[in-house]
Amino acid sequence: MEIFDAITGRRSIRKFASKAVPKEVLLKILDAARWAPSACNRQLWEFVVVTDHDTKRQIADNACFKQKFLKEAPTLIVVFYDDTKERREESGPRKHDSIQSAAAAIQNMNLAAYALGIGSLWVCSIKNMMKLNKILRVPKRIRPVAIVALGYPRETPEAPPRRPLESLVHYEKFQQLQNSYPNSTDPRKWSLNELATFRGEICWYGGTIDPEFTLEKYNMESRAYQKLMAFFEEYDTPKSKVLDILPFGGGYLVGLLKRVEDPKRIHCFELSGSNVRFIRQNLKTFALSEPIFHVNRGNRLRIESEDVDLVTCFFRLEKLPDPEAMLAEIHRVLKDSGHVLLATELRGMGRLGHIVQTPKRKNLHTSRLWSTGPSVLFSKGEFFKMITLGNFKIIHQELYREDGWIKSIGKQIARSEGVTLLALLEKT
Ligand SMILES: Cc1cc2nc3c(=O)[nH]c(=O)nc-3n(C[C@H](O)[C@H](O)[C@H](O)COP(=O)(O)O)c2cc1C
């Protein structure tokens, strides 16, 4: 196979046939890893090949977020790298030599597998590294880097989009992109136009970056997600007109679409056409028919829809420059008898954590919000005040903690995270 055909034709495969990967094919794939470059030619990588069903199940369930395809794939290659030397010697900024070397070996394996007709998936969502070491009896000093799932492909996915070359190559000096954003995690420092452009671009550049979307796609549904969907099932009726506010990657939207017979009674409001195109492409993966999309125009929020029975707004108000304006629009398009299903994470009780974190949180690029955009959590008081001033009242509410009480309170103090609030609103 031509090298460029392999580079562009290889896809991440997430559905595998049960047929085993023959030993001689597996050895060729592993041999390709051996020929990868490594820092100082140290070659401190180790590969554990796993085919035993029970071990694969243990890896998936205990160490890797229960990712289904790790159990399905007939062969897993768990890639480790001994970075003891690197950690001892590297005093300056870490260049992650060991990870770079392991990554080169992994990509060699992916390309070799593709050339041999074998599908592969590079999995780095390892939740618990030590558990993985323990399951495979690997000494602690050797760290897991990733898992390569291998098998005969049972799907031929379309290529996810790539950033155009001109947007990422800089000649001689770095060229600032035309659209630069306020590098702030505070949405109130953004204009609606800036936010619309950012959301429209970051969804593509990050591929399937939206964690919620990934959750739905790979069967890793979180508690929050299940709660929201149960809430939706309770308050939706077969003839309701539903409006989903800012679906972004489409994670929650997929959940809603799966729960209705007629997709056309679901309307979605997004800020840019580019974002809608991204959602459409992602929906194809689920073979779900499209809902009706509405795109905002200009620097003022305006939803081109009316007589809505049920609005779903899951973790979105806190991401807007002017959440009050969004509430006002929701109020305008909602029937007098309509309901709003709202979810938001409330700011934690510990201001200390917030103060300590402030310098980091000021910068979007170094914060954990880089892929989903600016967001500022409301305090309980701010949130309830906003709802009342928006002419809504809460008729049902539930507070819950994703991680259980102890962990959640620890998180609240350390990182100023709070509890999640689910609320059902009615017009006053
Ligand atoms: C370092 C790395 C880690 C990845 N981890 C995961 C993962 O945990 N789960 C998953 O489904 N895909 C994972 N992927 C696959 C990417 O989602 C995939 O490469 C990307 O969407 C582009 O699609 P393509 O590989 O088909 O071109 C990972 C890829 C890389 C390079």
254-296 tens-digit pLDDT: 889 999 999 999 999 999 999 999 889 888 877 788 999 999 9
Which residue, chain included where needed, has tokens 């007589």?
A: 307
Is residue 76 lining ligand 1, measured as CB closer than 6 Å?
no
Helix pair angle (273-284, 192-205), 10° resolution: 30
What does the alpha-carbon distance between residue 363 and residue 376 come to, in Å, rounded to a whole number? 13
Alpha-helical runs (H) found in 145-191: 165-168
Averaged pLDDT, 19-40:
97
Report pLDDT for 337. Answer: 96
Distance 364 CA to ligand 1 centre (A): 23
- Residue 418: its pLDDT value, please? 67
At 83, the pLDDT band (50, 70, 90 cuts) reads confident
Give the number of the atom of ligand 1 that is nearest the alpha carbon of residue 125. 8
Percent of the chain with pLDDT over 90: 57
Whole-number Å distance between alpha carbons of 245 and 127: 31
Helix pair 380-389, 323-333: axis angle to 10 deg: 40
Element containing residue 149 per DSSP (H, E): strand 142-151
Per-residue pLDDT tens over the stretch 172-206 = 988 766 567 888 889 999 999 999 988 888 877 65
What is the SS3 assignment for 36? Answer: coil
Q: Is 197 in the pocket of ligand 1 (CB under 6 A)?
A: no
Question: What pLDDT does 218 receive?
Answer: 46
Nearest to 249 by CA among 223, 274, 196, 212: 212
Contacts with 71 (C-beta within 8 Å, 6 or more apart), sequence order:
53, 56, 57, 60
Domains of the chain: 3-151 (3.40.109.10), 187-427 (3.40.50.150)
- Pocket of ligand 1, candidates 69, 109, 123: which has the most ligand atoms within 8 Å of its Cβ, to mutate? 123
Ligand 1 centroid to 121 CA: how many Å? 7
CB of 62 closer than 6 angstroms to any ligand 1 atom: no
Are 187 and 195 in contact by the 8 Å Cβ rule? The answer is yes
The alpha carbon of 125 and the centre of ligand 1 are apart by a number of angstroms equal to 10
pLDDT for 288 equals 83
Sheet containing strand 45-50, strands side by side: 45-50, 75-82, 142-151, 119-123
Report how far ligand 1's centroid is from the alpha carbon of 13 (Å).
Answer: 9
Query: Does position 350 have pLDDT exceeding 70, yes or no?
Result: no
| Ligand 1 near 220 CB (within 6 A) | no
Q: Phi, psi (5° rounding) for residue 310? A: -140, 120
pLDDT at 215 over 50: no
DSSP 425: E
Confidence band for 367, pLDDT divided at 50, 70 and 90: confident
Ligand 1 near 207 CB (within 6 A): yes
Q: Comparing 182 with 425, which gets the higher pLDDT?
A: 425
User: Measured from the CB, is residue 145 less than 6 Å from ligand 1?
Assistant: no
pLDDT band at 408 (very low <50, low <70, confident <90, very high): low
Give the pair of three-digit tokens for residue 49: 């090949």
Q: What is the mean pLDDT of the chain?
A: 86
Average pLDDT rounded to a whole number, residues 291-305: 94
Cβ atoms of 196 and 374 within 8 Å: the answer is: no
**CA 322 to the chain's CA centroid:** 24
> Over pLDDT 70: what percentage of the chain?
86
Q: Compute the distance between CA of residue 204 and CA of residue 217 in angstroms, rounded to an integer.
A: 17
Banded model confidence at residue 406, pLDDT cuts 50, 70, 90: low
For the segment 129-137, the average pLDDT, to the nearest whole number, is 95
* 8 A C-beta contact, residue 193 and residue 297: no
pLDDT at 181: 82
Higher pLDDT, 214 or 229: 229
| Gyration radius from the chain CA atoms | 24
Distance 354 CA to ligand 1 centre (A): 33
Q: What is the CA(49)–ligand 1 centre distance, in A?
A: 20
- Is 214 close to ligand 1, i.e. is its CB under 6 Å away? no
Nearest CA to ligand 1 atom 9: 123
Residue 125 in contact with ligand 1 by CB distance below 6 A: yes
**How many whole angstroms separate alpha carbon 266 and alpha carbon 271?**
17
Confidence of residue 365 (pLDDT cuts 50, 70, 90): confident
* Backbone angles phi and psi of 378, in degrees to 5: -80, 150
Atom of ligand 1 nearest to the CA of 69: 11
Closest atom of ligand 1 relative to the 214 alpha carbon? 11
pLDDT score of 139 more than 80:
yes
Residue nearest to atom 12 of ligand 1 (CA): 123
Mutate to test the pocket of ligand 1, among 11, 12, 78, 204 (most ligand atoms within 8 A of CB): 12
> Is the CB of residue 243 less than 8 Å from the CB of residue 312?
yes
- Which atom of ligand 1 approaches the CA of 217 most closely? 11
Beta-carbon contacts of residue 330 (< 8 Å; ≥ 6 apart): 243, 245, 303, 311, 313, 340, 390
With a 6 Å cutoff on the Cβ, whether 122 touches ligand 1 is: yes
Residue 41 pLDDT > 70, yes or no? yes
Going from the Cα of 306 to the center of ligand 1, the distance in angstroms, rounded, reads 40
Distance from residue 110's CA to the centre of ligand 1 (Å): 11
- Please give the residue that has the higher pLDDT: either 408 or 309: 309
> For residue 126, which of 78, 81, 73 has the smallest C-alpha distance?
78
Q: Could you tell me if the CB of 206 is within 6 A of ligand 1?
A: no
Ligand 1 mean position to 114 CA, how many Å? 15
Ligand 1 proximity of 160 Cβ (cutoff 6 Å): yes
| Residue 336 CB neighbour total at 10 angstroms | 7
Query: Is 371 close to ligand 1, i.e. is its CB under 6 Å away?
Result: no
pLDDT at 56 > cutoff 80: yes
